[in-house]
């Protein structure tokens, strides 16, 4: 079972996505802030990371940078960003993010993207 690290401070949306991904057969670990994500990543690298850009303590961009440069991992990263936040998305791509999805999120679409990224690897 593939392991997904879901990093989002919005509990409601995160639980919904968690439910959807879990239902699709993935093992999802949800972290509500950046510090927790960092600790989790230091323990174990998941198969894919789905992260919101705006998070307390440790933003999505920092997360991408941390994974690519500090951990030197090539794990796929999908960024969730708000609409009209294209600059951050571009920055995330420059840092090494693999894909992005904008809010409002379609859980089905996210599932498709996650599956595609995992199949690439």
Partner 1 sequence: MIRIALTYQSFTLISVPKIHTDLLWDLSVLFGSLCLLYFAFIFFFRNRLSAKAKNINDRRKQLTPIISNFLFYGEDASKEEKYEYVELKVEMREFIKDPINRSVLKEILLDLQRDLTGDARRRLLSLYQDFDLHLDAYQKLNSWRWEVVTKGIVELTQMQVEQAYTFIKNFINHKRSVIRKQAQIAAVSLKHEGISHFLDTNKYAISEWQQIKILEILRDKEDFIPPNFGAWLTSKNKDVVLFSLRLIRHYNQTDANCLVTELLKHKDDEVKQAAIECIKEFGIKEAVPVLKAAFRRSNRATKIVILDALGILCSDDIIPYLFEIYEHENNFNIKSKALSTINVISPNTVLPEENLDPSIKIAEEMQVDEEVRDVENPGEIDKNEIVPPHETVEEKVVITEEASELFLEDLDVFEYCFMEELNEILDRSDIEDNDIEAKYLPLDFLPIVVQKQPKMAKKKQKKTLDPELTQLDVRFEEVHPDEGFRRELEDILSRVEVPDLEGNIEVEYLNFKFLPFVISEEAEADQLPALIDEINAMEVNGVEIVLPASGEALDTNEAEKIADKDHQEEENDTCSLVDWDDLETEVDAIATKSIEKHTKEENIEESDPPSYGFSIFEELFRHCDTESKLILLDEILDLGDEKELCFLQTLFKDPNRDVRKKVKNIAKRLTEKLAVEQTANHTPEAIVKWADTEKNGRSLSLNFDLENLEIKNVNDTKK
Judged by the rule CB under 8 A, the positions of this chain that interact with partner 1 are: 10-13, 15-16, 19-20, 23, 103-109
- Name every residue whose Cβ is closer than 8 Å to that of residue 28 and which is 6 or more positions away in sequence: 3, 4, 5, 6, 17, 18, 21, 22
Residue with tokens 């993207």: 113
Q: Considering beta carbons, is residue 16 or 90 the nearer one to partner 1?
A: 16
Q: Considering beta carbons, is residue 67 or 79 the nearer one to partner 1?
A: 79
Q: Considering beta carbons, is residue 25 or 121 the nearer one to partner 1?
A: 25
Instruction: Quote the least distance from Cβ 104 to partner 1, whole Å.
Output: 4
For residue 75, the 8-state DSSP code is -
Instruction: Quote the least distance from Cβ 107 to partner 1, whole Å.
Output: 5
Instruction: Quote the least distance from Cβ 30 to partner 1, whole Å.
Output: 12
CA distance 17 to 22: 8
* CB distance 7 to 55 below 8 Å: yes
Instruction: Quote the least distance from Cβ 23 to partner 1, whole Å.
Output: 6
- Name every residue whose Cβ is closer than 8 Å to that of residue 66 and which is 6 or more positions away in sequence: 38, 41, 58
């Amino acid at each position: 079972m593939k392991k997904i690290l879901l990093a989002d401070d919005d509990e409601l949306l995160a639980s919904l996505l968690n439910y959807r991904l879990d239902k699709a057969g993935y093992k999802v670990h949800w972290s509500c802030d950046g510090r927790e994500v960092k600790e989790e990543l230091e323990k174990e690298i998941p198969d894919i990371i789905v992260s919101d850009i705006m998070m307390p303590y440790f933003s999505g961009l920092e997360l991408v940078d941390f994974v690519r440069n500090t951990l030197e991992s090539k794990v796929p990263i999908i960024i969730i960003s708000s609409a009209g936040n294209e600059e951050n998305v571009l920055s995330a791509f420059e840092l090494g993010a693999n894909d992005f999805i904008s809010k409002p999120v379609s859980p089905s679409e996210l599932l498709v993207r996650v599956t595609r990224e995992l199949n690439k690897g």
